[in-house]
Amino acid sequence: MSLLRHTKGGEVHERQALTVNPAKTCQPVGAMYAALGIHKCLPHSHGSQGCCSYHRSTLSRHYKEPAMAGTGSFTEGSSVFGGQANLLTAIENMFTLYKPDVIAVHTTCLSETIGDDIPQITENAIDKGLVPEGKFVIHANTPSYVGAHPTGFANMTKAMVDYFAKSTREDKVARRVNIIPGYVEPADMAEIKRLAKLMGLDPIMFPDTSGVLDAPQTGVHEMYPAGGVTIDELIAAGDAQQTIALGPVCSGPAAKALYAKCKVPQTTMGLPIGLAATDKFVMAMRSLNGGFVPEEIKYERGRLLDLMTDMHQYFYGKSVALWGDPDQLVGLSELLMSVDMLPKYVVTGTPGKKFLKRMGDVLGDKVHESFVRQGPCADMYLMHQWIKNEPCDLLMGNTYGKYIARDDDIPYVRHGFPILDRVGHQYFPTVGYKGAIRVLEQILNVLMDRQDRDSPEETFELTM
Amino acid sequence: MAPDSPEQAVELTPDGTLTSEALREELLKAYPKKSRRKREKQFIINEKTVNEDGTVTLPQIGANTRTIPGILTQRGCTYAGCKGVILGPTRDIVNITHGPIGCGYYSWLTRRNQTSAPSDDHENYMTYCFSTDMQDENIIFGGEKKLAAAIQEAYDIFQPKAIAVFSTCPVGLIGDDVHQVAKDMKEKLGINIFGFSCEGYKGVSQSAGHHIANNQVFKHVVGTDNTPRSKFSINLLGEYNIGGDAFVLEDLLERCGIELVSTFSGNSTYDQFANAHMANLNAVMCHRSINYVADMIEKKYGTPWIKVNFIGAKSTAKSLRKIGEYFADEKLMEQIEKVISEEYPAVFEAQKQYKPKLEGKRVMLFVGGSRAHHYQDLFGELGMKTVAAGYEFAHRDDYEGRDVIPDIKIDADSRNIEELHVDADPDMYDSDKVRDKWAKEEKGYSFAEYDGMMTQMAEKALVIDDINHYESEELIKRVKPDLFCAGIKEKYVVQKMGVPCKQLHSYDYGGPYAGFRGAIEFYKDIDRLVNAKVWKMIKAPWDE
Ligand code: SF4
Ligand code: SF4
CA of B41 to the centre of ligand 2 (A): 27
3-state secondary structure of B129: coil
Residue where a domain terminates, one of B220, B251, B270 = B220
B40-64 pLDDT, tens per residue? 999 999 999 999 998 899 999 999 9
Beta bridge partners of A319: A342
- What is the C-alpha to C-alpha distance for residues B97 and B101, in angstroms, rounded to an integer? 8
DSSP state of A395: E
B100, B150, B170 member nearest A18 (Cβ): B150
C-alpha–C-alpha distance, residues B261 and B153, integer Å? 32
What are the Cα distances from residue B353, in Å, to B348, B357, B532?
Answer: 9, 8, 16
A109 Cβ below 6 A of ligand 1: yes
Q: Would you list the DSSP string of B66-109?
A: PPPTTS-BS---HHIIIIIIIITTBTTEEEEEESSHHHHHHTSS
Q: Residue B158: which CATH number?
A: 3.40.50.1980
Instruction: Compute the distance between CA of residue B390 and CA of residue B394 in angstroms, rounded to an integer.
Output: 9
Residues B215 and B89 in one domain: yes
Domain count, chain B: 2
Mean pLDDT of B153-167: 98
Separation of A74 CA from ligand 1 center, angstroms?
A: 13
* Same domain as B195, residue B299: no
Window 282-341 of A: residues touching B by CB (8 A cutoff) are none
Cα separation, A106 vs A139, in Å, equals 6
Residues B227 and B213 in one domain: no
A128 Cβ under 8 Å from any chain B Cβ: no
C-alpha closest to that of B535 among A213, A217, A65, A221 = A217
Contact between A327 and A271 (Cβ < 8 Å):
yes
Helix axes A295-310, A186-198, angle to 10 degrees: 130
Rounded CA-CA distance B544/B539 in Å is 7
- With a 6 A CB cut-off, is A51 part of the ligand 1 pocket? yes
Separation between Cα atoms, residue B518 and residue B118, nearest integer Å: 23
Kindly give the distance from the C-alpha atom of residue B293 to the centroid of ligand 2, in angstroms, as a whole number: 24
Burial per residue of B505-539, b for 16 or more beta-carbon CB atoms within 10 angstroms, e otherwise: bbbbebbbbbbbbbbbbbbebbbebbeeeebeeee
Contact B66 A73 (CB under 8 A): yes
Q: Flag whether B211 is in a domain.
A: yes
Please report whether residue B285 resides in a domain.
yes
Complex ipTM > 0.90: yes
Q: Do B170 and A113 touch (CB under 8 A)?
A: yes
**pLDDT cut 90: percent of chain B above it:** 96
pLDDT at residue number B4: 46
Residue B109: count of CB within 10 angstroms of its CB: 16
Centroid of ligand 1 to alpha carbon of A48 (angstroms): 9
On whether both B324 and B229 belong to a single domain, the answer is yes
Res. B1: pLDDT tops 80: no
A-to-B residue pairs, Cβ atoms closer than 8 angstroms: 276
Preceding peptide of A294 cis, ω within 30°: no
Containing domain of residue B264, as a range? 222-353+428-449
A416 part of contact set with chain B, CB < 8 Å: no
Choose the mutation target among A52, A131, A221 for the interface with B, i.e. most B CBs under 10 Å: A221
- Cβ proximity of B95 and B124 under 8 Å: no
Reported as a pLDDT band with limits 50, 70 and 90, residue B7 is low
Domain boundary among B220, B251, B274: B220
Distance B109 CA to ligand 2 centre (A): 17
Residues B201 and B291 in one domain: no
* B207, B230: one domain: no
Contact between residue B211 and residue B292 where contact means Cβ atoms under 8 Å apart: yes
Residue B69 at interface with chain A, using a CB cutoff of 8 Å = yes
Dump strand ranges (E) for A366-435.
371-374, 394-397, 412-414
In what side-by-side order are the strands of the sheet with A240-246? A202-205, A173-180, A240-246, A266-269
Q: Does B202 touch chain A (CB under 8 A)?
A: yes
Whether B142 has its CB under 8 Å from any CB of chain A: the answer is no
pLDDT at B167: 98
Q: What sign results for the dihedral spanned by CA atoms A216, A136, A159, A323?
A: positive
Distance CA B393, CA A109 (A): 23
In a 3-state reduction of DSSP, which class is residue A58? helix
Q: Looking at domain A173-293, which of 3.40.50.2300, 3.40.50.1220, 3.40.50.1980, 3.30.43.10 is its CATH number?
A: 3.40.50.1980
Chain B contact for A2, CB < 8 A?
Answer: yes
- Ligand 1 geometric centre to CA of A108 (Å): 6
Q: Which residues of B touch A108 (CB under 8 A)?
A: 169
Contact B168 CB / ligand 1 (< 6 Å): yes
CA A437 to chain B, closest CA, distance in angstroms equals: 30
A54 lines ligand 1 (CB under 6 A): yes
Specify the pairing of strand A173-180 against strand B462-464. Answer: unpaired
Asked if A351 contacts A345 with a C-beta cutoff of 8 angstroms, the reply is: no
- The radius of gyration of chain A's CA atoms, rounded to the nearest angstrom, is 23
- Residue B9, Cβ density class (10 Å: 0-12 exposed, 13-18 middle, ≥19 buried): middle
Separation between Cα atoms, residue A52 and residue A55, nearest integer Å: 5
**Is residue B399 situated within a structural domain?**
no
Shared-domain flag, residues B173 and B267: no
Question: Best residue in B77, B163, B202 to probe A by mutation, most A CBs within 10 Å?
Answer: B77
The CA B257 to ligand 1 mean position distance, Å, reads 46
HSE-CB at A237 with a 13 A cutoff on CA atoms is 33
CB of B70 less than 8 A from some CB of A: yes
Question: Is residue B93 included in any domain, yes or no?
Answer: yes
pLDDT band of residue B8 (cuts 50, 70, 90) is: confident
Residue A20 in contact with residue B153, Cβ under 8 Å? no
**CATH 3.40.50.1980: which residues of chain A?**
27-156, 173-293, 297-457
Q: What is the pLDDT of residues B253-304, one digit of tens each?
A: 999 999 999 999 999 999 999 999 999 999 999 999 999 999 999 999 999 9
Do residues B336 and B256 touch, judged by C-beta distance below 8 A? yes
Instruction: Give the other-Cβ count within 10 Å of A388's Cβ.
Output: 17
Rg of chain B over CA atoms, in angstroms? 23
Task: Sort out which chain B residues have CB atoms less than 8 A from A26's CB and list them.
Answer: 100-103, 105
Judge if B206 and B255 occupy the same domain: no
- In chain B, what residues touch A217 (CB-CB under 8 Å)? 495-496, 498, 538
Q: Taking Cα atoms as reference points, which of B268, B283, B276 lies closest to residue B301?
A: B276
CB contact under 8 A, B72 and A109: no
Residues of B marked active site are found at 77, 80, 111, 210
Residues B314 and B247 in one domain: yes
Q: Say yes or no to pLDDT of B3 above 50.
A: no
Query: Nearest-CA residue of chain A relative to B117?
Result: A1
Q: Best mutation site among B82, B157, B196, B415 for testing chain A: the one with the most A CBs within 10 Å?
A: B157
Three-state SS for A195-209 is HHHHCCCEEEECCCC
Architecture in CATH for domain A297-457: 3-Layer(aba) Sandwich (3.40)
Nearest to A2 among B120, B123, B156 (CB): B120
Q: Where are the alpha helices (DSSP H) in B328-394?
A: 330-358, 371-381
Nearest CA in chain B to A401: B127
pLDDT in tens, B408-429: 999 988 988 999 999 999 999 9
Select the residue of B101, B132, B495 nearest A148 (Cβ to Cβ): B101
- The reply to whether B434 and B320 lie within a common domain is yes
Task: Mark which of B165, B186, B220 sits at the end of a domain.
Answer: B220
A50 closest CB neighbour out of B128, B132, B200: B200
How close B540 comes to chain A (CA, Å)? 9
Mean pLDDT (10-residue bins), chain A, 464 residues:
95 96 98 98 97 98 98 93 96 98 97 96 98 98 96 98 96 97 98 98 98 96 98 98 98 98 98 98 98 98 98 98 98 98 98 94 97 96 98 98 98 98 96 98 98 98 96
Which residues does chain A have within 8 Å of residue B157's beta carbon, measured at their own beta carbons? Answer: 6, 13, 15, 18
Contact B120 A5 (CB under 8 A): yes
Measured from the alpha carbon of residue B202, the closest ligand is 2
Is the separation of the CB atoms in A100 and A135 below 8 Å? yes
Structural domain includes residue B511:
no
Q: For domain A27-156, give the fold.
A: Rossmann fold (3.40.50)
Question: Which residue, judged by its Cα, is nearest atom 1 of ligand 1?
Answer: A109
Q: Using an 8 Å CB-CB cutoff, list chain A residues near B164.
A: none
| Average pLDDT of the segment spanning B467-490 | 98
> What is the number of H-type helices and E-type strands within chain B?
21, 16
Q: Residue A102 and residue A41: Cα distance in Å, rounded? A: 5
Shortest distance between the Cα of B220 and any Cα of chain A, in A, equals 23
Ligand 2 centroid – CA B369 distance (Å): 20
The residues lining ligand 2, judged by C-beta closer than 6 Å to any ligand atom, are A 48, 50-51, 54, 108-110; B 77, 79, 103, 168-169, 199-200
HSE, side-chain direction, 13 A CA sphere, residue B9: 14
CB-nearest to A21 from B102, B124, B129 is B129
Give the residue-averaged pLDDT of B497-521: 97
Cβ of residue A28 lying under 6 Å from some atom of ligand 1? yes
Do A28 and B102 make contact, defined as CB atoms within 8 angstroms? yes
How far lies A427's CA from each of A192, A213, A297, A430, B534, in Å? 14, 10, 20, 10, 20
CA-to-CA separations, A349 to A317, A320, B28, in angstroms, rounded: 27, 18, 46
